[in-house]
Amino acid sequence: MAAMTDIRNIVVLTGAGVSAESGIDTFRDAGGLWEQHRVEDVATPEAFERDPELVLRFYDMRREAIQQKHPNAAHEALARLDREWEGGLMIVTQNVDDLHERAGARRVVHMHGTHLNAWCTACDVRSPWTGTLIERPACPDCGERSLRPDVVWFGEMPYRMDEIFAALREADLFVSIGTSGAVYPAAGFVRNANDLGVRTLELNLEPSQGSAWFDESRHGPATQVVPPWVD
């Protein structure tokens, strides 16, 4: 971190690419298909209304898979940054997995929710959830069978946007790791950062859709490009 002497506040944005080497599938790399459905067709409130079993099966499968996976060297490097960086830091993740936390990071914001919660749309209470939802279990709080995954679908408002924009306004550096830049508002953070005069760095396997907006890009697998950046 020797080259970061003029940096005090950092916002890191992570996407599916940071967890790819832990064995968690990204959304768009392999054609973005799940049983012939694009993520845009499964991850919407309309899809859930139309075919709740299909959507719940998709999330039950992913919840179970994530629990078998482990943090990789990129998560560990970011956790090290979290422990050692005395300035401001916000790790904004679009991922619903908890690999940043399992690696030891604490300053994490899940803007697209978490696979570890179920959300009752009847009473609006979120409950810790590690099992399945396909059998339409009852909400532990109100007893209604109105549980859904506590994740943000297309057309819904991502979580904690006010805090994220406040952190961007205070930031000296914005770093985007392992995200395609296909999904807004996260894809727009680099331009928000540019407008605010914040330095921007992309760490991704390949140039993302927003690459041209970054001051600097380093390409390669997250486990190889993130640790040297942190150290």
DSSP-assigned letters across all residues of 126-153? EEE--S--TT-PPPTTT--S-EEEEEPP
Question: Based on CB atoms, which residue is closest to ligand BJW, 25 or 144?
Answer: 25
Whether 110 sits among the annotated catalytic residues: the reply is no
Q: Is residue 153 a contact partner of residue 167, using CB atoms and an 8 Å limit?
A: no
Which string of x and - marks every residue 152-191 that binds ligand BJW (by CB under 6 A)?
xxxxxxx--x----------------xxx-xxxx------
For residue 104, give the 3-state DSSP assignment.
coil
How far apart are alpha carbons 77 and 108 in whole angstroms? 14
Q: How far is the CB of 37 from ligand BJW (least distance, A)?
A: 12
Q: Which two tokens stand for residue 29?
A: 């790399």
Applying CB under 6 A, does 17 fall inside the site for ligand BJW?
yes
Hey, which residues does 128 pair with through a beta bridge? 117
Question: Based on CB atoms, which residue is closest to ligand BJW, 103 or 152?
Answer: 152
Q: How far is the CB of 110 from ligand BJW (least distance, A)?
A: 10
Which string of x and - marks every residue 64-103 that binds ligand BJW (by CB under 6 A)?
------------------------------x-x-------
Q: Which residue is nearest to ligand BJW (CB)?
A: 17
- Of 84-92, 98-106, 150-158, 189-197, which segment contacts ligand BJW by CB under 6 A? 150-158
Applying CB under 6 A, does 192 fall inside the site for ligand BJW?
no
Q: Which two tokens stand for residue 161?
A: 């946007």
Applying CB under 6 A, does 109 fall inside the site for ligand BJW?
no
Applying CB under 6 A, does 39 fall inside the site for ligand BJW?
yes
Q: Is residue 45 a contact partner of residue 153, using CB atoms and an 8 Å limit?
A: yes
Contacts of 8 (CB under 8 A, 6+ apart): 87, 88, 172
For residue 222, give the 3-state DSSP assignment.
helix
How far apart are alpha carbons 49 and 22 in whole angstroms? 32
Applying CB under 6 A, does 23 fall inside the site for ligand BJW?
no
Residue of 11, 20, 89, 168 that binds ligand BJW (CB under 6 A):
20
Question: Based on CB atoms, which residue is closest to ligand BJW, 87 or 185?
Answer: 185
- Range 211-226 burial, b when 16+ CB lie within 10 A, else e: eebbeebeeebbbebb
How far apart are alpha carbons 173 and 193 in whole angstroms? 8
Question: Based on CB atoms, which residue is closest to ligand BJW, 46 or 143?
Answer: 46
- DSSP-derived pairing of the beta strands 33-34 and 199-204: unpaired
Interface residues toward ligand BJW, by CB under 6 A: 15-17, 20-21, 26-29, 39-40, 43, 94, 96, 112, 151-158, 161, 178-180, 182-185, 204-206, 208, 221-222
Q: Which residues are catalytic?
A: 112
